[in-house]
A and B are shown apart, each in its own frame.
Chain A
């Protein structure tokens, strides 16, 4: 099918402001949107710039706005979008070029929640035990691929870029509910700070956006409840 694809372009070193390029491109209905972008880049316009790697939804490189919704370009098929497409970078980050945004602030926020197991007790010779039920408590949030689709779909984040955002909180959840983790206040302080979890207004955009099907809003609610419980 013939697709009319509008892409928002911007190269801050040469363009005064962003503009749209429109491409007419032939694609199979079963092609991924990423395949279509590749066709444009490889056959029509080598200057079109976007990130990609795995091409099947596991590396988190290619989150972007496709007809107004955050998606991974490699996890949505052309036929599911239709023959008119508008593709834009994720909102709320600085555009480096075209669909590529600056991910540094995103990873800084991730790092801020101490996204690693904290447990200073000496480890046993074999594994630390954890029951399947204990694993179940945080299993969902271990699926995160750090694509930022949730954070950049979040209205509180748009209005306050200092908010750590759902992605960082999903990763905090992953450790807070891990029975092996002993961080306690060390991590809770960051999360309950001014720019922490209380900025969440349960809009649910994040859950809709997540390509891994993580219950993002729910995870943040669990974090809130845990903070309140521990304070009480």
Chain B
């Protein structure tokens, strides 16, 4: 089926909905949102902690301070003009969310309440500052609901349970997408003047993750298959406190309230590694401390996990300030967090890298940041880059709202000034062939088995601590799995609501992305933020203070680099 809209947004999480709202409020533009999930199921809804903005409601604060923290937190791999734009516009964006109806927690005088979060400081690193705006411990849920509600109010067209299959270009200009209606298996072509990808992250490349089953990086992989380079893919954040074996996130707020990490000897081991910040050292560091404890045999019962101890906080704090956390621990572990220790391990959490964009969400390629006309990206699938080598807590929600908004506004102007580019002949050919082959193949490899082998390997060799040896081994494994994937076969060969079909395609995306992550990790022979190489344990600004670009070319993967924007703050050692 053929459709035509001025603008297409793929993805209905915070980034996609924010962009769609800008488009919907511009008269005379037709917009559609395509999403493989119903909008309210998007993983933005899982975010707990908060959204950072220098409102200064409880104490003095300034966007410049926020910028500094973002740059330092990202181990100086952040593009500083972009970070500055984000931190300044965070303020008006949070007010905009409030005006849309978001039920923020409040101060006694009725203003938006704010609290402390790791890495956010006053006056360029002096002391912690209250900057995180929150709605209890379900801030992401409230952002997602509020934006979806506003989209309903502004009558946005939704195509829910439509899975993106391909992006369409004609002569270098983006002119639409191809998507599968999951319900009946029909393939649709959406002709458009501009397309935004807001398809979220890809934590499901790893075995232990805080990410939803549907976070499989579809948009990132589809862009990559079109020859668009991916930026800084090796920079992936492992959050220290995931529920043991399940990966479900236990918010950093637990340590913010005074929670302590302990090893098998009951020792507060962060004292040895980070004597001042202790348990609240940056996420990448705390994840490495846990890794080290486990490696030295001080994991609980000799296993690969440690304990989060909240027992000294008392029932009042746990129940009132961390209600969702308490609920998760009771439901999934059968433990009472008020009296018992919680087994935790680092969990794959957030992609700093992704599709390269400028500050208006335009996808840019190459070392000279050349825009690709008509193609935009925002949110976790994009790399602006405002998170550099390690994202600060609360900064992803800022990113999706600020850059979703900027991208939507830029697109609105662009589609008003631009005509439709003709679709190429048979724009849906590749997608039809891909789906047709999968539905036809009777015997072959199982996608589920390939996926679990991939997740095990990525967890074991491409996670918190890396080395050339481990990365080379992982590279070989992924190549083998990719080969197996060429012969993947499904049991379900119906076209009607075939969920095995969309899962099988997701595995293909994860394989391609894993390959790019490993390539970037091998090339970055240093340690910076979330990327730690035990064979190169220090940061190397001379050779690696630059962004990695991985290209998928017919002759194999290619690595190139582009400079980091250092226009505001000079790189310093990252000490807390």
- Judged by a CB distance under 8 angstroms, whether A100 is at the interface is yes
Complex alpha-carbon distance, A58 and B13, angstroms:
14
- Judged by a CB distance under 8 angstroms, whether B32 is at the interface is no
Q: Closest approach, in angstroms, between the C-beta of B100 and any C-beta of chain A?
A: 7
**List of B residues within 8 angstroms of A145 by Cβ:** 40, 45, 141
- Judged by a CB distance under 8 angstroms, whether A202 is at the interface is no
Q: Closest approach, in angstroms, between the C-beta of B357 and any C-beta of chain A?
A: 25
Given A53-B43, A61-B41, A131-B108, does the pair A178, B212 have CB atoms closer than 8 Å?
Answer: no
**List of B residues within 8 angstroms of A116 by Cβ:** 100-101, 149-150, 152-153
Cβ–Cβ contact B43 & A54, under 8 A? yes
- Judged by a CB distance under 8 angstroms, whether B499 is at the interface is yes
Report A101-118 CB contacts with B as 1/0, cut-off 8 Å: 001000100010011110
Cβ–Cβ contact A132 & B183, under 8 A? no
Complex alpha-carbon distance, A54 and B55, angstroms:
31
Complex alpha-carbon distance, A57 and B448, angstroms:
23
Cβ–Cβ contact A56 & B248, under 8 A? yes
Q: Closest approach, in angstroms, between the C-beta of A115 and any C-beta of chain B?
A: 5
| CB under 8 Å from chain A, chain B span 119-176 | 135-136, 138, 141-142, 145, 149-150, 152-153
Cβ–Cβ contact B494 & A11, under 8 A? yes
| CB under 8 Å from chain A, chain B span 454-509 | 490-492, 494, 496-500
Stretch at the interface among B326-334, B404-412, B530-538: B326-334
Which residue, of B106, B135, B136, has the highest number of chain A Cβ atoms within 10 A?
B106
- Judged by a CB distance under 8 angstroms, whether A49 is at the interface is yes
- Judged by a CB distance under 8 angstroms, whether A96 is at the interface is yes
Cβ–Cβ contact A43 & B103, under 8 A? no
Cβ–Cβ contact A54 & B46, under 8 A? yes
Report A125-165 CB contacts with B as 1/0, cut-off 8 Å: 11111111011001100111110000000000000000000
With beta carbons under 8 angstroms apart, the residue of A41, A100, A117, A143 that contacts B101 is: A117
**List of A residues within 8 angstroms of B38 by Cβ:** 61, 103, 107, 146
Complex alpha-carbon distance, A130 and B101, angstroms:
11
Cβ–Cβ contact A43 & B331, under 8 A? no
Cβ–Cβ contact A53 & B41, under 8 A? yes
Stretch at the interface among B109-117, B284-292, B373-381: B109-117
Given A46-B491, A53-B41, A128-B99, does the pair A30, B108 have CB atoms closer than 8 Å?
Answer: no
Q: Closest approach, in angstroms, between the C-beta of A104 and any C-beta of chain B?
A: 9
Cβ–Cβ contact B149 & A117, under 8 A? yes
Cβ–Cβ contact A125 & B95, under 8 A? yes
Determine the main DSSP class of A at the interface with B.
loop
Q: Closest approach, in angstroms, between the C-beta of A211 and any C-beta of chain B?
A: 10
Can you name the residue of chain A whose Cβ is closest to the Cβ of B504?
A46
Q: Closest approach, in angstroms, between the C-beta of A97 and any C-beta of chain B?
A: 4
Cβ–Cβ contact B41 & A178, under 8 A? no
Complex alpha-carbon distance, A199 and B138, angstroms:
31
**List of B residues within 8 angstroms of A103 by Cβ:** 38
- Judged by a CB distance under 8 angstroms, whether A42 is at the interface is yes
Report A44-66 CB contacts with B as 1/0, cut-off 8 Å: 01110111111111111100000
- Judged by a CB distance under 8 angstroms, whether A91 is at the interface is no
- Judged by a CB distance under 8 angstroms, whether B350 is at the interface is no
Given A59-B43, A146-B40, does the pair A178, B331 have CB atoms closer than 8 Å?
Answer: no
- Judged by a CB distance under 8 angstroms, whether B313 is at the interface is no
Cβ–Cβ contact B141 & A13, under 8 A? no
- Judged by a CB distance under 8 angstroms, whether A228 is at the interface is no
- Judged by a CB distance under 8 angstroms, whether A9 is at the interface is no
Cβ–Cβ contact A59 & B41, under 8 A? yes
With beta carbons under 8 angstroms apart, the residue of B103, B107, B449 that contacts A178 is: B103
Can you name the residue of chain B whose Cβ is closest to the Cβ of A127?
B98
**List of A residues within 8 angstroms of B109 by Cβ:** 129, 131
Report A161-177 CB contacts with B as 1/0, cut-off 8 Å: 00000000000000100
- Judged by a CB distance under 8 angstroms, whether A75 is at the interface is yes
- Judged by a CB distance under 8 angstroms, whether B214 is at the interface is yes
| CB under 8 Å from chain A, chain B span 327-356 | 328, 331-334
Can you name the residue of chain A whose Cβ is closest to the Cβ of B97?
A127
Given A13-B494, A56-B332, A178-B103, does the pair A47, B500 have CB atoms closer than 8 Å?
Answer: yes
With beta carbons under 8 angstroms apart, the residue of B108, B135, B496 that contacts A11 is: B496
**List of A residues within 8 angstroms of B55 by Cβ:** 126
Given A49-B497, A97-B496, A125-B95, does the pair A56, B328 have CB atoms closer than 8 Å?
Answer: yes
- Judged by a CB distance under 8 angstroms, whether A227 is at the interface is no
Complex alpha-carbon distance, A131 and B106, angstroms:
6
Cβ–Cβ contact A96 & B497, under 8 A? yes
Q: Closest approach, in angstroms, between the C-beta of A181 and any C-beta of chain B?
A: 8
- Judged by a CB distance under 8 angstroms, whether B104 is at the interface is yes
Cβ–Cβ contact A127 & B41, under 8 A? no
Given A58-B45, A143-B138, does the pair A49, B101 have CB atoms closer than 8 Å?
Answer: no
Q: Closest approach, in angstroms, between the C-beta of B418 and any C-beta of chain A?
A: 31
With beta carbons under 8 angstroms apart, the residue of B183, B213, B334, B491 that contacts A55 is: B213
Report B206-225 CB contacts with A as 1/0, cut-off 8 Å: 00000011100000000000
**List of B residues within 8 angstroms of A123 by Cβ:** 95, 99
Report A19-43 CB contacts with B as 1/0, cut-off 8 Å: 0000000000010100000000111
Q: Closest approach, in angstroms, between the C-beta of A223 and any C-beta of chain B?
A: 17
Complex alpha-carbon distance, A46 and B55, angstroms:
51
Can you name the residue of chain A whose Cβ is closest to the Cβ of B323?
A213
**List of B residues within 8 angstroms of A58 by Cβ:** 45-46, 138, 141
Q: Which 8 A-B pairs have the closest CB atoms?
A: A117-B101, A46-B491, A129-B110, A42-B448, A116-B149, A97-B497, A47-B492, A116-B153
Interface set of B (CB-CB < 8 Å, partner A): 37-38, 40-43, 45-46, 55, 95, 98-101, 103-112, 135-136, 138, 141-142, 145, 149-150, 152-153, 183, 212-214, 246, 248, 328, 331-334, 446, 448-449, 452, 490-492, 494, 496-500
If A53-B213, A60-B40, A126-B95 are given as contacts, then 12 extra A-B residue pairs at C-beta distance below 8 Å, sorted by A number, are A41-B448, A42-B449, A46-B500, A54-B46, A56-B46, A56-B328, A60-B41, A61-B37, A100-B499, A125-B95, A127-B112, A178-B101
A-B contact pairs, 13 of them (CB 8 A): A14-B494, A42-B449, A45-B491, A47-B494, A54-B46, A58-B46, A59-B43, A114-B153, A116-B149, A117-B100, A127-B99, A132-B105, A139-B103
